[in-house]
Structure 1
Amino acid sequence: MRTLRVLLAGSAGVGHQDHQAEMYAPGFAAHPGFRVVAEMMDPAELARPDVDVVSVCVPFERRVEVVTAALRAGKHVLVDKPVALTSGECAEIAAVAAETGLVCLPAYHQRFHPAVRAAREAVAAGRVGLPWNAQADFLVAGGGPVWPYGELLNFAPYATDALHAIAGLPVVSVYALAGHVAEDAGGGGPEDLVTLCLTHERGMTSTVVAGRTPPVAGARGLSLHRYRISGSHGTLLADATRPGVVVRSEEAARTAWAGHGTVHRMLTELHDAVTGGRPAELGPADALAALRLVEGARESIATGGVVHLDAREETSEHAERAGTR
């Protein structure tokens, strides 16, 4: 297996998160296809000749600058989620990725979960017929709020991206609700629970519940992660917390599986795309779709109405063209 050399750029994320230290650096170290060669101290290091891939977790105010600079320096990129805070910034990154033809993979690693992959294969094979409705639950027990962003930007895109991977049908409209369930939430803080009612192309509908709940006794992390797909010829239930073994310690309990986790599988896709000279399954267009959905949901929460994403995109693109004249 060809070894790709990795530069770690930054350690920032949504709120208190440090996915670089907690997920990506350990993931690269454990994967036989990668070797971490350095941590970025200066933007000039993006042009290092001994680097093939840059793992980007810089603060959002520098995200577009660093990702586009890495791409223009000839480096493939893994970008922490969300790729940017706005769809406009994400569109800038997508344009440079398309211009360079390099891999730019947003880290929505939950779509690589074996349960999600199995559901995707089953739907593609027609085992439930034509999908007409989907339900997704993505709930994490415990942990702190992600100031000032909230779980609409943090957790909900994991579920919506997985749904897109399973059904392959883009969202055209959204109605959203947001609230608080944790005891220490509220008081003007970011939402920790969101419900998204979505309409997809070809008339499929879906409901996504995502967020963070108070701690569950004896457990931590993902407490509910499942997808129910209803079709014209059957129903499929994919529970991403099973099969698994519950490992209990003095501090808490966690679920463990045999085999590789979602981050390892995502990095395998990154490696295969780079070494195979092909686009990655997951790219800037998927990140852009996720952010446009978040923005539409924000608008729906503010107005109390349904937001049509295609109309928002047309308005945004018209404004962008007008601004360049």
Structure 2
Amino acid sequence: MTTDVTAPARTIRAGFVGGGFMAAVHSRAARAVGAALAGGASSSPSRSRDAAERLGLARGFDSLDDLLADADADLDVVHVCTPNATHADIVRAALEAGKHVICEKPLATDAATAAELADLAAERGLVAAVPFVYRFHPMAREARALVASGETGRLVSVQGAYLQDWLATPNDDDWRVDRALGGPSRAFADIGSHLVDLLEFTAGERVTRLNAVTRTVYGARATNTDIATEDLVAVVVELSGGAVGTLLVSQVAPGHKNGLVVELGGTAASVRFEQERPERLWVGRTSDSRLLERDAARLSPDAARLSIVPAGHPMGYQDAFNAFVADAYAAIAGERPDGLPTFADGVRAVRVTEAVLRSAASGEWTEVAA
């Protein structure tokens, strides 16, 4: 049994577009995997130089075109960490330049464009990944393994939530609130997409139809007015195997920092994963309930692979992100790591988001495109 995440056989040369929080997360992960941080580009030459200094990149480039074309940078992969509405153009340019791509979600703000990008990556034979990183918590993989092994029995119910409070007051504001930058959906596209991805990944089934309600709690904030994107979403879902359930997504839930929770209820057992308590998994049966602690010696092979420190030494979000980047880079090197979220998963997330918006607008059940 190995407890190492997949690692590339050679040094990957990585470039970064954007210089904010997510660029910092991506660059830390790339550095942890042993990549060469060859350069970056941001919204202006001065911002590019500032980002390069802060993130420890070899050089800040004046533009995306300069970054992609520079022979000294010689990029293998481009990490796209910019506002949502800019993703598609940057991804397309990187793919057309022959670069592998890791793009923050949403891959695009509409499903048709996302599908075009996925097709382009496939045509060029390029690795294209979207960081649905909660898949990379070892105990999320253990939940998946328990369901796949049949230990839970047939799934009959699901419940999930993703609750945050960073936009809980009208004085809280962010570029994501602006539809022109963030796209037509905010709360669901931003965090609801993670919830559905984790649900479908652990369940091994897809949401086939849904009924959604959205709410914009604050129509005006500190700098944004006439806000059209949603603060919270409630969704009833039906899965391909017949299970039904409920999902709640909110960015205005006081006291909740990153409350991502998925519970899968089967005929024999229930399994619950909580991202804020990622070192354990709750397993419930009619006879008893127990907390399964992360211990590589007692986990399924895939969960043990991602469990890179001894039991009792907590792992967290950056560890999961590092493991995602390690697997993405391994795919670039020719490996086929299990569970890597690709552009196909990015397309799926946008299609689910569009179904949520259609259902909320009509008040009716809506089918989710495959």
Match of 1:124 in 2: 148
Query: Is the 8 Å Cα contact of residues 47 and 70 (structure 1) preserved in structure 2?
Result: no
Query: Is the 8 Å Cα contact of residues 140 and 212 (structure 1) preserved in structure 2?
Result: yes
TM-score, structure 1 normalization: 0.80
Structure 1 range deviating more: 272-281 or 98-107: 272-281
CA RMSD of the aligned region, Å? 2.7
Match of 1:169 in 2: 205
- Structure 1 CA distance for aligned equivalents of residues 201 and 102 of structure 2: 19
Equivalent positions of 1:1-325 (< 5 A) are 2-11=10-19, 18-29=20-31, 31-40=32-41, 41-49=63-71, 50-143=74-167, 144-145=172-173, 146-148=176-178, 149-180=185-216, 189=227, 190-216=229-255, 221-222=257-258, 224-242=259-277, 257-258=314-315, 261-278=319-336, 281-310=340-369
Q: Cα gap change, 1:82/1:277 in structure 2, threshold over 3 Å: closer, same or farther?
A: same
Q: Cα gap change, 1:75/1:118 in structure 2, threshold over 3 Å: closer, same or farther?
A: same
Query: Is the 8 Å Cα contact of residues 220 and 226 (structure 2) preserved in structure 1?
Result: no
TM-score, structure 2 normalization: 0.71
Q: Cα gap change, 1:281/1:258 in structure 2, threshold over 3 Å: closer, same or farther?
A: closer
1:66 to partner: Cα distance: 2.2
Q: Give SS of 1:213's match.
A: coil
Amino acid at match of 2:314: W
Structure 1 range deviating more: 151-160 or 66-75: 66-75
Q: Cα gap change, 1:26/1:184 in structure 2, threshold over 3 Å: closer, same or farther?
A: farther
Amino acid at match of 1:64: A
Q: Cα gap change, 1:33/1:9 in structure 2, threshold over 3 Å: closer, same or farther?
A: same
Of Structure 1 and Structure 2, which has the larger fraction of its residues in strand? 1
- Structure 2 CA distance for aligned equivalents of residues 109 and 160 of structure 1: 13
Amino acid at match of 1:290: A
Q: Give SS of 2:273's match.
A: strand
Query: Is the 8 Å Cα contact of residues 115 and 239 (structure 1) preserved in structure 2?
Result: no
- Structure 1 CA distance for aligned equivalents of residues 142 and 248 of structure 2: 21
Q: Cα gap change, 1:19/1:101 in structure 2, threshold over 3 Å: closer, same or farther?
A: farther
- Structure 2 CA distance for aligned equivalents of residues 124 and 35 of structure 1: 38
Q: Between the two proteins, what is the percent identity of the paired residues?
A: 27
1:47 to partner: Cα distance: 3.9
Query: Is the 8 Å Cα contact of residues 134 and 228 (structure 1) preserved in structure 2?
Result: yes
Deviations 1:197-254 (A, max 9, x none): 11121212232111213542xxx731x222111112211122222256xxxxxxxxxx
- Structure 2 CA distance for aligned equivalents of residues 243 and 285 of structure 1: 26
Q: Cα gap change, 1:303/1:104 in structure 2, threshold over 3 Å: closer, same or farther?
A: same
- Structure 1 CA distance for aligned equivalents of residues 278 and 18 of structure 2: 35
Q: Cα gap change, 1:243/1:105 in structure 2, threshold over 3 Å: closer, same or farther?
A: closer
1:163 to partner: Cα distance: 0.8
Query: Is the 8 Å Cα contact of residues 8 and 20 (structure 1) preserved in structure 2?
Result: no
Provide the aligned length of Structure 1 versus Structure 2. Answer: 290
Q: Give SS of 1:221's match.
A: coil
Q: Give SS of 1:294's match.
A: helix
1:125 to partner: Cα distance: 1.3
- Structure 1 CA distance for aligned equivalents of residues 244 and 345 of structure 2: 19
- Structure 2 CA distance for aligned equivalents of residues 74 and 21 of structure 1: 21
Unaligned runs of 5+ in 2: 1-8, 42-62, 179-184, 280-312
Query: Is the 8 Å Cα contact of residues 197 and 349 (structure 2) preserved in structure 1?
Result: yes
Q: Cα gap change, 1:230/1:28 in structure 2, threshold over 3 Å: closer, same or farther?
A: same
Query: Is the 8 Å Cα contact of residues 182 and 212 (structure 1) preserved in structure 2?
Result: no
Amino acid at match of 2:248: V
Query: Is the 8 Å Cα contact of residues 79 and 107 (structure 1) preserved in structure 2?
Result: yes
- Structure 2 CA distance for aligned equivalents of residues 47 and 196 of structure 1: 45
Amino acid at match of 2:193: P
- Structure 1 CA distance for aligned equivalents of residues 217 and 137 of structure 2: 27
